[in-house]
Chain A
Amino acid sequence: MIAPLRRTHRWIWIARVLALPGLVIAAWAVRPPADASPVAAMPDDARGQTLRFEPAVARGFLADDGSLTVTLEDEVPLAMAYWSATHSTGTKLPSDAIWLGAVDALAAARLRVPDPQAGGTIVLYSLGTHAVFARAASPVDRKRGG
Chain B
Amino acid sequence: MSVSYVRVSWNRQKRIYDVVVAVAVVLVLTTFVVGGAWLDPRATAETLILRATGICAFALLHVVLAIGPLARLDRRFLPLLYNRRHLGVVTFLVALVHGVFSAVQFHAFGDVSVLASLWSSNTRFDSFAHFPFQQLGFAALVVLFLLAATSHDFWTKNLTPRVWKSLHMSAYLAYALIVAHVALGAFQAVPSTIAWLLLLGGAMTLGTLHALAARVEARDDRRALDAATDDVDVCELAELPQDRGRTFVVRGERIALFKHADGVSAVSNVCRHQHGPLGEGRIVGGCITCPWHGYQYRPHDGTSPPPFSDKVETYRVRIVDGRVRVDARPLPPGTPVTPARAERGA
Chains A and B are bound partners:
yes
Q: Chain A interface (Cβ within 8 Å of chain B)?
A: 1-3, 5-6, 8-10, 12-13, 16-17, 19-21, 23-28, 30-32, 34, 38, 75-78, 128-129
Do A27 and B183 form a contact, CB below 8 Å, given A19-B176, A21-B204? yes
Q: Nearest residue in B to A20 (C-beta to C-beta)?
A: B203
Tell me if B's interface is mostly helix, strand, loop or mixed.
helix
Pick the residue among A10, A17, A21, A27 that contacts B184 (CB under 8 A): A27
Centre residue among B162, B187, B203 by max chain A CB count within 10 A: B203
Q: Nearest residue in B to A33 (C-beta to C-beta)?
A: B191
Q: Nearest residue in A to B68 (C-beta to C-beta)?
A: A9
Check B219 for interface membership: any CB of A closer than 8 A: no
Q: How many residues of B contact A (CB 8 A)?
A: 38
With a cutoff of 8 Å between Cβ atoms, the chain A residues found around residue B342 in the complex are: none
With a cutoff of 8 Å between Cβ atoms, the chain B residues found around residue A9 in the complex are: 169
Report whether B176 and A20 are in contact in the complex, using a CB–CB cutoff of 8 Å.
yes
Q: Nearest residue in B to A126 (C-beta to C-beta)?
A: B44
Report whether B268 and A1 are in contact in the complex, using a CB–CB cutoff of 8 Å.
yes
Do A77 and B200 form a contact, CB below 8 Å, given A23-B180, A27-B184? no
Report whether A24 and B183 are in contact in the complex, using a CB–CB cutoff of 8 Å.
yes
Q: Give bound CA distance, A28 to B197, whole Å.
A: 10
Distance (Å) between the CB of A127 and the closest chain B CB?
Answer: 9
Q: Nearest residue in B to A27 (C-beta to C-beta)?
A: B183
Q: Could you write out 7 A-B pairs with CB less than 8 Å apart?
A: A5-B275, A10-B214, A17-B204, A20-B176, A23-B183, A30-B129, A128-B44
Q: Give bound CA distance, A5 to B183, whole Å.
A: 30
Distance (Å) between the CB of B46 and the closest chain A CB?
Answer: 8
Number of A-B contacts (CB under 8 A): 85
Q: Give bound CA distance, A9 to B117, whole Å.
A: 36
Distance (Å) between the CB of B65 and the closest chain A CB?
Answer: 10
Q: Give bound CA distance, A34 to B187, whole Å.
A: 12
Do A34 and B191 form a contact, CB below 8 Å, given A2-B275, A27-B183? yes
Q: Chain B interface (Cβ within 8 Å of chain A)?
A: 42-44, 46-47, 128-129, 162, 165-166, 169, 172, 175-176, 179-180, 183-184, 187-189, 191, 196, 199-200, 203-204, 207, 210-211, 214, 217, 252-254, 268, 270, 275
Report whether B183 and A28 are in contact in the complex, using a CB–CB cutoff of 8 Å.
yes
With a cutoff of 8 Å between Cβ atoms, the chain A residues found around residue B188 in the complex are: 27, 31-32
With a cutoff of 8 Å between Cβ atoms, the chain B residues found around residue A10 in the complex are: 214
Q: Nearest residue in B to A32 (C-beta to C-beta)?
A: B188
Tell me if A's interface is mostly helix, strand, loop or mixed.
helix
Report whether B44 and A77 are in contact in the complex, using a CB–CB cutoff of 8 Å.
yes
Q: Give bound CA distance, A21 to B204, whole Å.
A: 7
Q: Give bound CA distance, A1 to B272, whole Å.
A: 11
Report whether B207 and A13 are in contact in the complex, using a CB–CB cutoff of 8 Å.
yes
Q: Give bound CA distance, A118 to B24, whole Å.
A: 60
Pick the residue among A5, A19, A128 that contacts B166 (CB under 8 A): A5
Report whether A17 and B253 are in contact in the complex, using a CB–CB cutoff of 8 Å.
no
Q: Nearest residue in A to B199 (C-beta to C-beta)?
A: A24
With a cutoff of 8 Å between Cβ atoms, the chain B residues found around residue A30 in the complex are: 128-129
Do A25 and B162 form a contact, CB below 8 Å, given A31-B187, A77-B42, A78-B44? no
Q: Nearest residue in A to B129 (C-beta to C-beta)?
A: A30
Q: Give bound CA distance, A52 to B175, whole Å.
A: 49
With a cutoff of 8 Å between Cβ atoms, the chain B residues found around residue A27 in the complex are: 128, 180, 183-184, 187-188
Report whether A3 and B252 are in contact in the complex, using a CB–CB cutoff of 8 Å.
yes
Centre residue among A8, A17, A78 by max chain B CB count within 10 A: A17
Q: Give bound CA distance, A129 to B187, whole Å.
A: 25
With a cutoff of 8 Å between Cβ atoms, the chain A residues found around residue B172 in the complex are: 12-13, 16
With a cutoff of 8 Å between Cβ atoms, the chain B residues found around residue A76 in the complex are: 42
Report whether A5 and B165 are in contact in the complex, using a CB–CB cutoff of 8 Å.
yes
Q: Give bound CA distance, A6 to B217, whole Å.
A: 10
Distance (Å) between the CB of A63 and the closest chain B CB?
Answer: 26
Q: Give bound CA distance, A19 to B204, whole Å.
A: 11
With a cutoff of 8 Å between Cβ atoms, the chain B residues found around residue A32 in the complex are: 188-189
Pick the residue among B189, B207, B217 that contacts A16 (CB under 8 A): B207
Distance (Å) between the CB of A1 and the closest chain B CB?
Answer: 5
Cβ-closest 4 pairs across A and B:
A27-B183, A34-B191, A17-B207, A30-B129
